[in-house]
Each structure stands twice: as C-alpha cells, then as structure tokens.
Structure 1
Amino acid sequence: MRRNDIVRITIDSLGSDAQGVGRYNGHVVFVPGALPGEDIDALIVKPMKGYAFGKLLKNHTTSPERVTPPCPAHGRCGGCSCQHMTYEASLRFKQDQVQNCLSRIGGITLPVPLPVAMETPWRYRNKTTMPVTMRDGQPVAGFFARRSHRVVPVEDCLLSDEGSNQAVRTVLAWMQQYNVPAYNEETHTGLVRHVMVRNNHIDERMVVLITARQEVPKQTQLVDALRAQVPGLVSVCHSVQDNPDNVILGDTYRTLWGLPRLAQNICGISCTLSPLSFFQVNTPQAENLYRLALEMAAPTPQDLVADLYSGAGTITLLLAQHARHAVGIEASPDATKDALDNAMRNGIANVRFINDLAERALPQLVKEGFRPDIVVLDPPRKGADASVLHAIAQAAPRRIVYISCNPATQARDAKILTELSYQATACQPVDLFCQTADVENILLLEHRSE
C-alpha cells in the first residue's frame, strides 16, 4: 500500500484506541471511526511496514451500533474515541480490552465482566484541563488532535459541566481583552499554557491558570471576571510551568483569590484538594471503584494495610476505617499534605503517610520488617516499578488489589506478581472515562499459600 491509496476493507475488530481494524492484502489497517462489521473505503494516510493508518471515506454498510456523535469536534478532537458507537458497545469494547491485555500480556486466564456502567455517561468530569493556543490572532482552548499537539478548539466539552466550560471561556475573553498571549510550544514564547477547572459534589469550582512565567498581567481583572461569570467559584489559583516539556502543572501554586483547596466528599470521606493533588475525574464512578476495591481487599480489624501511590489519601482512609493501621506512600509533597489534613478532618488516627517514591520507600520499609497483610496500589499509567513489585512479594501480603487506568501495564505487572507466588483471582472494570477508549480496572491477586 502507498500513501493516498483508497482501499475497500471489512472491519473485524477495534484496536486499543477504539479505532477500526481491518486487513488488506495481508496488511493490518487501522481506521479511526470505523466499527466492526462495516464494509468501508479507507484512504491510506500513513503506510508502515506490515500495517497502515487510514481515514474513513465511505461506509458501504453501517453497523447497527453506530450512532451520530453529539459533539461537533468528534473525529478531530483526540479525546472521545467512542462517541460514534452506542454506550453498550463501548462497554463491550472496554471489556475486551481488559480481557485481551490480561491474557496476551499477563498470561492470565480470568473471566472479565462488563465494566460498571454510568447511568448518564456525560458531563461527569470533576476536572477539566484545556491547552491554550493562538489561532488567527485569537486565543482558543480545547484538546489535542489525535497523536499531535495541535489544539482543536472546543467551546462546550460534553464531558465537562457548563460551569467549567464557562470558566474556560471567561479566561479566553480576558486574554483577548488584555492581549495576554498563549504559550507557543515551538518558540517557547507567550504566557498562558493551560486552564484547569475543578468542581465538587456541591457545585463549587476552582480555576487554575497555568502559565510559563510568574507574572500575570491584569490579575485583578481576571479574578473579577471569573467571580462575575463562573457559578460556584470559590478559588482562583496560579501555577507556573516554565519547563519546555509536556507536564501540565508546575511544582507549586499560589492562590490569587479565595480558598487554597477545594472541598470534596467521596464514600463518606471529607477531603480537600489542592490544584496539584490527584483525584479520580469521575466522582460517582470513583465511589463505585473504591467500594469494589475495599470489598476485594476485605481488611479486618487486625490487618496492617499499605496503599501505594496514595495521592490525597482517600483509599488509605477508607482502608483505615476497617483495619488496625494503614500506611500511604505518595511522591507528591502537596498530595501528602492533603492526605494528612484529610486524616485530621475525618478524625482518622490509625494512619501514616510517607512522602517518598514508592520504589524507594517500600523496599526500605520491607527491609526494616514492614509486613502488610494487604497492599493496594494505584500507580500512574506507566505502571509500577519492578522494585515495588518485588518488595510487595517479599512482604508477602495475603492480598494485592491493583487499580489501574492502563490494562496493558497492569497486565505486565500482574505477570511479574504471578511469577512471585501470587494468583489473579478476580477483576472488575469500571467505566470511569465514559466516551473515551480508557477504562479503569481492579485486579485482585492472592498469595498462593492462602
């Protein structure tokens, strides 16, 4: 196949990004927007050795699971890969993804149920972060196109609530009025890089301006505009990210107006979150996720539990309510501070939070005799460091509950643990990222001696 060839193929399955997968003359062709069972024409846009990427040109047949995407940016924005299929079809796709990763990467044979579904899979995000750029002299915000850093303007993200979208529009209007430039990734000039908005269970909002430099011109006017136009606003913060990389937030932040942290409540735990703290983006589904994880962990009043990559401490505090003692390990100083504050706020004293890298702290703790009965870990997408997995195995907890937003790295790590005296016994996906190709999965591993 060559670039700009038009090929007719039948779509057999979906790839990891929910793109259609077909074959032409022995070559695999990935076509975003195509669905299994469809007979299509595809334009070859990027031929590779043995496979190619194509663009959907025409449907000769249409899947009964195809729907009209409600977002006008669908197909251009790289965010929602599943809007063109029924919600039920997206759940089956995610079920298959978890199943395939566990079997092919992890060598694990385990029945995978359908992900826990959301009743209304729209407007669910409690945090929206949009990159900002200049387009024809005007500031625009949106999301990156698939596999690029080209911003696709989005005025009304259907995964965010209206208040969060209004906050972004207000920042853009302030930039336009006062000639505040967006940051340019190529020339490293300009100021505003991202706008982040957090909202909570009582419809309060925190707006975070992320810039490349410390100085914010017309700061008072920005705060005044946000206070006048954003419903439920309780906080305006500023974070400086002056490194020429893809990291969104800087290491610190300052409060321009209002509260330095946003209140949140999940599973009966009252907590506060700084702009830098990790928190699951879908609160109702996070509650389902945590309840399921707690059920799998099944701590008793005699148990010592460890929570790795503990963030603001929500899971640690939930575990502590059922265990003798809980220890959380988190690399972020700001998130660790939030966790300590949250423990005090909820009157939970049988906890300890350690501000350190899990790959450094856990092996040292185990060397000193730390032997948790249960370990819960929720690492970033890249998965856990091998030293963490070996330290867990050395501590020999009877149960490991592994939570992950990346089934591939979860399966990779689970394979290591199964080679270290553990057996995967149950899993449950949760649709935390509705309309996207991502899925959260909980995997239970139990020590073979049990």
Structure 2
Amino acid sequence: MKPAKHRNRIQHTTLSTALALGLAVAPGAHAVELDYEISAGVIHNSNIILSETEEISETTIAPGIDFTLTHEGRSVDLVGRGNARYLYYTGDTFDNEVRGEFSGHMRWRMLPERLDFVVEDYLSQQPVDILSPVTPSNAQQVNILIGGPSLYLNLSDRTRAQFDARYSRSEAEETSEFDADRVNAAARVLHELGPTTRTSLNVESNRIRFDQAGVASDYDRLDGYVNFQRNLRQLDFSVDLGYSTLDIVDGDSYSSPLGRASLGWRFSPETSINAQASYQFSDTAQSLSSTPVDPDVPIGTDIDVSGVIVSSDPYEQRRLDLGFSHSGPRHGVDASAWYERSEYVEEDDFDNTNSGAAFAYTFRINPLLDLVASVDHQRRDFTVTSRLDKDTNFGVGLAKRFTRHWSARLDLRRRSRDSSVQGFSYDDNAVTVSLVYRR
C-alpha cells in the first residue's frame, strides 16, 4: 500500500497548479485551444510482473484521456500537455490505479516587457527501485512545481538586464528523501549583436533543502556562464560556457567546468536534425523539469522500464543527444541516439553509463489507415556494482480512422531485458486494442 501522506501531497501540488493555470486563462477562456482524445483500451500482457521465471499474464482495461492546451493572450501565454489513465487489472495482479503525466508552462505578463510571473509543473511516473523491474508495484508519481517572477530592465537599445527568482517544490510518492524546497536566483545581462545573434552573461544560485535532514544532504550550487546563440531561418544554435561550484552543507565542496550546446537544422518544413551536448552538475529534479513542453510531442502512457533514478544526490553529467525527424505525406521517420554518463557526488552506487538508440516509422497505407513500427535499445552499465542491463523494445501497430472524430488502433509490443545479474532478465509480449474519440 502506498503511503497516503505522499500521495495526497502530490495530488495537492498538482491540483494547486491546475487551479493556478485555470485562473490565469479564465479572463480569456475563449482563446484557449484545447485538443483531446478520449480512449477505451484493453491490454493483455504475457508477463506483467516482468519476472524471469514466474510469468503472470494479465488483462487490463484502460480508459483514459490525452490532451494538449495552448493559449496566447495579451497578458497570459499557456502551453500544456498530459494524460490520465484508469487501469483496471481484471486478474487482480495489482491494485487498480490512476496513472498520469503532465508538463505545463504559464507566463503572466504582469507589466508588459517589465515584469513576468512564471509557473511550471512536471508530473511523471518513475521507478521506486531502479535496479528492480519497473512494474506497477515499483512505480511512483514524481512532481516538480516551479514558480516565480522575472524582472527586465532596458540598459540600452540593444542591452537589457534580467533578474529571475524561482521557488520549486519537488516531491516523490514513495522516495520521501527526494522531497525538497529549492530556491533559485539568477542575474543576466543580455546583448543583441544583430537581428539573429545574441549573447548573455549569466550567474545562477541554487539553494536546495531536503525535508529529511540527515538522510539527504542539503547543498548550494553556483553557476556562472556566457551564452551565445544564433537563430536563422533554417538553423538554431546555442552554447553555454562557464564554471560551477557545488557546496554540500556540513560537507565537501566540488567544482566543474560547465558546457552546454544545442543545434537545430531544418532542411525543409518536413525534415530536421537536432543535437544537444552537456557537461554539468545535474540532479533528478533538474532532469525531470527539462521535459519539453511541446503539444506536438506526445507523453508516454506506459511506465518507462529504463526509468530515472529518483535520488537526492546531485551528479556530474556528460550527455550527448542526436535526433532526426521527417514527416511527409505518406512517410514519417523519427530517429534518436544518446549517451550519458552520471557520476554521483556522495554515493557512487548508482554511477552509470546510459546509451541507446530509438527508431520509429509511420507509413500511410491510405488516407484512413496508418502502419506504425518502432524499435529502441538501451544499455545501462552500473560501474560500481558491475551490473549491465540491456533493454530492447519492438512495436508495430495499425491505426484506422472511421470519421474525423473516431478511430481504432491495434498495437503489438515486445519488450525484453538481458541483465548480467541472475534473476533480473525478462521478456514480455503485449497486445492492445483501443477505440479513440478525438475532438
């Protein structure tokens, strides 16, 4: 049974965010664009507990809703996407549950070009124990709520100063040592070098204080960096170069260079590539709150078997991401590859190297029928414990549209893990049939 205190706390945080966003757009509700899908699905898994030796099949009834909303007003901009599912396990393998994810960003221009107020919320499903199979009994909701003002001052025609203050609350349903209050303050000087080129000098200070003193170490972080970016018709480029220090309260201090770079190249309206690289201090809350808030990017409804390590310990991150996307009249391709090395500051048991690639292909057989196929593979090597997990997923599906609003879908999926630790490998086959109403 999940602790009611943590569950209620997260539900309260998410409800508060929803109310804030609703109040923000209420005066211009007619300008809110809301798209949603209501679905009713049946899922049959051959090994829902992801066991190597004692497989249990289960059929789940899963009604749900997916939604995106946008609002661009004179004083308020809002973008959000999310979903919710009610999962009824007919074989009683697990307790019935509600599972959901959400990413949202709201900007209220209190004084145009002078003072903004920003609210962000990131709700996701993550594993409780990253070393065990990520089944419904090993999953928890994690929520990051961020809010605060931004002040802008014009220093000249091309130069302005920006001051940001943010308070954030991070909470996990089960991993209570993750629960924390965070305060961020940033000062920036931004200069326009030309119509498409900008540079800035940035100083950011973070103060992290955890609820459970003695279990998780409080720490302070200071970042200083220079940013340079260009935005052209087909090319976007940005780079950060600087230095970071991290001070553990009543503990050691650490320092590291800071480097981040991103590149987006649009060959045509249908085809683009992107790349991101980073060398920096990071932590779980920072990682989860960097989820893209983009209505065109769907949120997964299944638990990610790779998962994020929900920990209070910051880590030094080296990460590289590459992506390719093509969306044509009949063919769609999305491909990505990544490499990440994480070295934790205090506890090194979770030091790991994570690498992989994913590929998805969509073929429009006719105007009312699509074929979708996907494959992804990931390797996660825990360096201290000498554990290597290799996860592979295959999927194929058919989507049939009957009318502008109604469609049906059939999906087949196979996921497997090959672990170097005996007893943690598994295979699972699943078939999903769903009926969808789209607004």
Query: Does TM, normalized by the shorter one, top 0.5?
Result: no
Higher helix share: 1
Using structure 1 for the length normalisation, give the TM-score.
0.29
Using structure 2 for the length normalisation, give the TM-score.
0.30
Higher strand share: 2
